[in-house]
Structure 1
């Protein structure tokens, strides 16, 4: 008879950001354990709140599934002697499997005969295996862990209780001095301890104790509460999935309430108000039906609606203090000019070896100017871009950014507009921090994109020059994210600029390093970006061998490199491309045996030699033009024109002939053709599927 299994870990309140990942680890590891342990079950449910992580396994079998396993022994020629008797090798093999030679049977594997036995593994009772689930609990990883008391276990928060049941039986184990039991605990203030009879009672029993264990149900309660409140007040609460998820993981029993603040605070920039509400208090801003911010907020209480008005007043008081501080900071900041804050940047160190923020701004401006020249911007856009670069960090010393760090750039745009700066330049100040996350929103303006690339390139080149290369999970300056941002911007804007030229530009800004240090840093920076390009191409399902092929010479122009990778990924499985691939790869393989030499038509001996040379000259001219236009399909088709002349060349000529002059001339021809192919990609690095 099948029984349910419940495992619950009771904890001190977990940080909201830990909950989802920990719950996923718990259910994934539990599912994996049951499958590997051959214990059948109907389904697995997971639960989480700030104080608990739990899994409920429905209808788990009382016994492991028995397993019949085929065991391969030694080859027959070793297992039997010339008279057909079983050798010591065969006898030892069967004994080791708990069998006798009478159980042997013979099967062929890839043309070789082997001896086999069938071994039956009888399933053990589930209850005997379930204590192993304690290993799942201790294996859950958190981004930050702690030890408590004299315990050696490192965990996000101390474990306070554990409920573990198989049907009505307690699964016995102990972790960090806490023994498993059939008891769980309700809401910290509204609930009490509960003794569970069977796992199926878990969710309902907790709900009676003011705990909604299912996070999706809690989330829906919050959504329903906010929709009801919005309907009653004739306004709307903008959707914010990130904040909603965080609040869901902060409460065990949610009750939505609406608070208000003095309308005079609406004179503050909307982003300041929203940040004050969201970042510090986890409130949801409220807007009118036409999108204007209103002097209200939606909050979520961890409990029922008893004396909710008292809770509302307390939250309004806290927010009032926050907004009062924000208003003071805002008004104080307005008393100073942009130049005042720029001068302050000279006293803020960016990095010990890389100078101050002011030094960084000078480098950003130089890179932005050079990049703008490469893009041949018109005069107005160029002027706006340079000004944006010059003032891109001026808001860092302001009171507002010091208090609300997430407003960097956003406050910069607001203050720049207040100071009379051009709208495009002010917008670029905000956008130059984008993307904030690797897959986040990109700058929407050219000015913002250029300053963003300049800023990120400077940080990456500078940090690597200073020896601050990310290792493992350690990346304190966010270099991986910033490199990904640079590449995504280059791809989105389709700039005809190679990554290598940008890296050279960034490296030129650092005079404090020796030439040896610069060369080493340039190599390491290129390798660092190569890894990021590889990662991004893999994200688009490009195979590793194709990636290595298109990155053979250099990263190049990102949109063009991505086009070539996508095309070759298709062609590797296309049987129609086989003649072209075989011809071009054959050239690459032979050309590796020589260095560049001059081709002399007077040395040609056959018509096929001359034909290949003439085709090469024609293809080289056309390919160069197409390559400049970055048309991946046409460029590959142009190289494909060489296929038949190459096949004819190899059919009618011996490359490694005894005549040294002819041999060298033929190798020179192949070398030049190979150089043209390599310019596109190293096709020999690709595992062409039609070969297998």
Structure 2
């Protein structure tokens, strides 16, 4: 008879950002274990709160599914002697499988006859296997772990209880000295100990103790509470799914309430107010139906609605202190000029080997100025870009950014406007930090994009040159994220600039770094490889296969948009049967070109019409290809290369390249090598696994 299984591990409060991923891991690891263990069940559901992770498996079979396995033994010619009797090899094989020679049958495998037996793997009782659940729980990975007492287990938080039931029976195991039982715990302050006779009624029993174990239900309770508040107060609460999930994972029994603050604080920048509420207090800001920020907030209590007005007043008092500090910082900051803060940058170390932030700003300004020239910006836009680079970090020493670090750039824009800077300059100060996270918003203005690229390249090139190369999950300077941001900006703005030229421009700004020649070369190689890995990551996000990525990155990285267009084009053509003759011809040329480095071709040495035709076609195609290449038309460039296909086939049909005549051989190899150079300029087509797609 099938029984339900319930396993819950109780912990000290988990960080909110750990909860969802930990619950998902528990669910997937349980599913995988059940499948690997051949244990049948009808359904499975996971649960989580800040203090617990749980999984309930319904109608679990009491035994593993038995398995019939076919086992291959030695070849028949070894298993039988000339008289047809079974040898020791055969009897030893069958004995090892718990069978006899009477159970042997034969099958052909790739032209050779082998002996086989079938054996039954009888399923064990599920009850005997369930203690392995301790391995599932301890295998959950967290972003940060800790040890406690004298235990060796590294886990996000100390284990406080474990409830594990198979029907009415406790599943026996322990973790860090905590033994399983049939007891769990309700809300830390409102609940009590809960003893379950079986997994049935788990959710309801804990809800009676002020714990909503279903995170989706908790989330919906918060949403419903916010909708009720909107209807009662006539305001709107802007959607913020990340904050909603964070709050959901901070509480076990959510109750929504409304608070307010003095309307005089609305004179502060809106980002300061929302940051104070969201980042520091986990409150939801409130707006009017016209989109204006109001002097209200919505928050969530971890508990019931008892004395909710008192709770609201307490939260209002905390927020008032925050906003009072913010107002003081804002007013004090306005008393100083931009130049005052720029001077302070010369006393803030960016990195020991890379100097101060003031040094960094000078490098970024020089890079941004040259980029502006490369992009042929008009004088006014170039001047705005350079000014934005000069002041892009001036807000870092301000009181406001010191208190609200994630407002760097945003405060810079506000202060720059207050100081009389042009709106384009101020906007670029804010945008140069974008994208702030993977998949985040990119700069919208050309000034912001240039300063963003210059700043990020300075950090990447400088840090890697100083030996600060990301490894594994360690990337303290966020170099991977910043490199991805640079590449996405190049793509979106479609700059006709190669990645190599941008890296060389940035490296020149570090000309005075104390690096030996060998170290400098190692740094350049490391920087190049680092960006190739980032491009590979982006192309994989675009669903480009590894062999195509290898093909387009075989030589230079080049212009980002053009390289990505080549990758898309080759991904499409590799599945086109009509392109097969083209790829065969071009790859044949690439394979043969590896035998020579000769380039000089002489018409006077040609002996056949087919080699003359190939050379003339090459000359025509070369001009058309370079024109398409200059226009970055990936499709047209490949079509031009395709025009070489038939002449190449004719050439190989009517000529022996490796002829005994040395002069003819060298001339033909030089012709092949010239054509190969044109193909390689597009991509290393020999790297693409064409045949598996036809």
TM-score range, shorter chain: over 0.9
Q: Any idea what SS the aligned residue of 1:200 has?
A: coil
Q: How far apart are 1:691 and its partner, in Å?
A: 7.5
2:159 paired with 1:155: no
Q: How far apart are 1:609 and its partner, in Å?
A: 0.6
Distance 1:331 1:111 in 2: 88
Q: Find the counterpart in structure 2 of residue 388 from structure 1.
A: 388
**What pairs up with 1:335-346 in 2 under 5 angstroms?**
335-346=335-346
Q: Find the counterpart in structure 2 of residue 594 from structure 1.
A: 596
Q: Any idea what SS the aligned residue of 1:373 has?
A: helix
Q: Any conservation in 2 of the 1:7–1:164 contact (CA below 8 Å)?
A: yes
TM-score (norm: length of structure 2) = 0.99
Distance 2:497 2:191 in 1: 63
Q: Find the counterpart in structure 2 of residue 185 from structure 1.
A: 185
**What pairs up with 1:513-592 in 2 under 5 angstroms?**
513-592=515-594
Q: Find the counterpart in structure 1 of residue 122 from structure 2.
A: 122
Q: Any idea what SS the aligned residue of 1:347 has?
A: coil
Distance 1:448 1:4 in 2: 58
Q: Any idea what SS the aligned residue of 2:346 has?
A: helix
2:104 paired with 1:78: no
Distance 1:681 1:237 in 2: 52
Q: Find the counterpart in structure 1 of residue 252 from structure 2.
A: 252
Q: How far apart are 1:182 and its partner, in Å?
A: 0.3
Q: Find the counterpart in structure 1 of residue 49 from structure 2.
A: 49
Q: Any idea what SS the aligned residue of 2:117 has?
A: strand
2:331 paired with 1:331: yes
Q: Find the counterpart in structure 2 of residue 634 from structure 1.
A: 636
Q: Find the counterpart in structure 2 of residue 89 from structure 1.
A: 89
Unaligned segments of structure 2, at least 5 residues: none
Distance 1:331 1:505 in 2: 40
Q: Any idea what SS the aligned residue of 1:151 has?
A: coil
**CA offset digits 1:468-499 (Å, max 9, x no partner):** 00111111111111111111111111111111
Q: How far apart are 1:91 and its partner, in Å?
A: 1.8
Q: Any conservation in 2 of the 1:572–1:690 contact (CA below 8 Å)?
A: no
Q: Find the counterpart in structure 2 of residue 284 from structure 1.
A: 284
Q: How far apart are 1:521 and its partner, in Å?
A: 1.1
Distance 2:531 2:693 in 1: 32
Distance 2:529 2:97 in 1: 51
Q: How far apart are 1:375 and its partner, in Å?
A: 1.0
Q: Any conservation in 2 of the 1:575–1:690 contact (CA below 8 Å)?
A: no
**What pairs up with 1:95-494 in 2 under 5 angstroms?**
95-494=95-494
Distance 2:89 2:412 in 1: 80
TM-score (norm: length of structure 1) = 0.99
Distance 2:591 2:611 in 1: 18
Q: How far apart are 1:366 and its partner, in Å?
A: 1.1
Distance 1:317 1:690 in 2: 68
Q: How far apart are 1:86 and its partner, in Å?
A: 2.0
Distance 2:440 2:76 in 1: 61
Q: After the TM superposition, list the runs of 4 or more consecutive aligned residues in structure 1 that deviate by more than 6 angstroms.
A: none
Cα distance 1:691–1:587, how it changes in 2: closer, same or farther (>3 A)?
farther
Distance 1:353 1:18 in 2: 35
Distance 2:33 2:445 in 1: 51
Q: Find the counterpart in structure 1 of residue 627 from structure 2.
A: 625
Q: How far apart are 1:690 and its partner, in Å?
A: 5.2
Q: How far apart are 1:689 and its partner, in Å?
A: 2.7
Q: Any conservation in 1 of the 2:598–2:666 contact (CA below 8 Å)?
A: no
Q: How far apart are 1:142 and its partner, in Å?
A: 1.0
**CA offset digits 1:484-526 (Å, max 9, x no partner):** 1111111111111111111111111112134333222111101
Distance 1:343 1:689 in 2: 63
Distance 1:11 1:504 in 2: 52
Q: How far apart are 1:78 and its partner, in Å?
A: 2.3
Higher mean alpha-carbon deviation, 149-158 vs 356-365, is at: 149-158
Q: Any conservation in 1 of the 2:606–2:612 contact (CA below 8 Å)?
A: yes
2:608 paired with 1:606: yes
Q: Any conservation in 1 of the 2:94–2:101 contact (CA below 8 Å)?
A: yes
Q: Any conservation in 2 of the 1:206–1:213 contact (CA below 8 Å)?
A: yes
Distance 1:22 1:533 in 2: 30
Q: Any conservation in 1 of the 2:63–2:124 contact (CA below 8 Å)?
A: yes
Q: Any conservation in 1 of the 2:574–2:693 contact (CA below 8 Å)?
A: no
Distance 1:115 1:459 in 2: 65
Q: Any conservation in 1 of the 2:575–2:693 contact (CA below 8 Å)?
A: no
Q: How far apart are 1:80 and its partner, in Å?
A: 2.2
Unaligned segments of structure 1, at least 5 residues: none
Distance 1:119 1:604 in 2: 71
Q: Any conservation in 2 of the 1:578–1:690 contact (CA below 8 Å)?
A: no
Q: Any idea what SS the aligned residue of 2:48 has?
A: strand
Q: Any idea what SS the aligned residue of 2:28 has?
A: helix
Distance 1:547 1:691 in 2: 16
**CA offset digits 1:414-441 (Å, max 9, x no partner):** 0000101110111111111111112111
Higher mean alpha-carbon deviation, 361-370 vs 307-316, is at: 361-370
Distance 1:340 1:101 in 2: 94
Count of residue pairs brought into register by the alignment = 692
Distance 1:84 1:531 in 2: 61
Distance 1:114 1:632 in 2: 54
Cα distance 1:690–1:145, how it changes in 2: closer, same or farther (>3 A)?
closer
Distance 2:322 2:413 in 1: 22
Q: Any conservation in 2 of the 1:23–1:53 contact (CA below 8 Å)?
A: yes
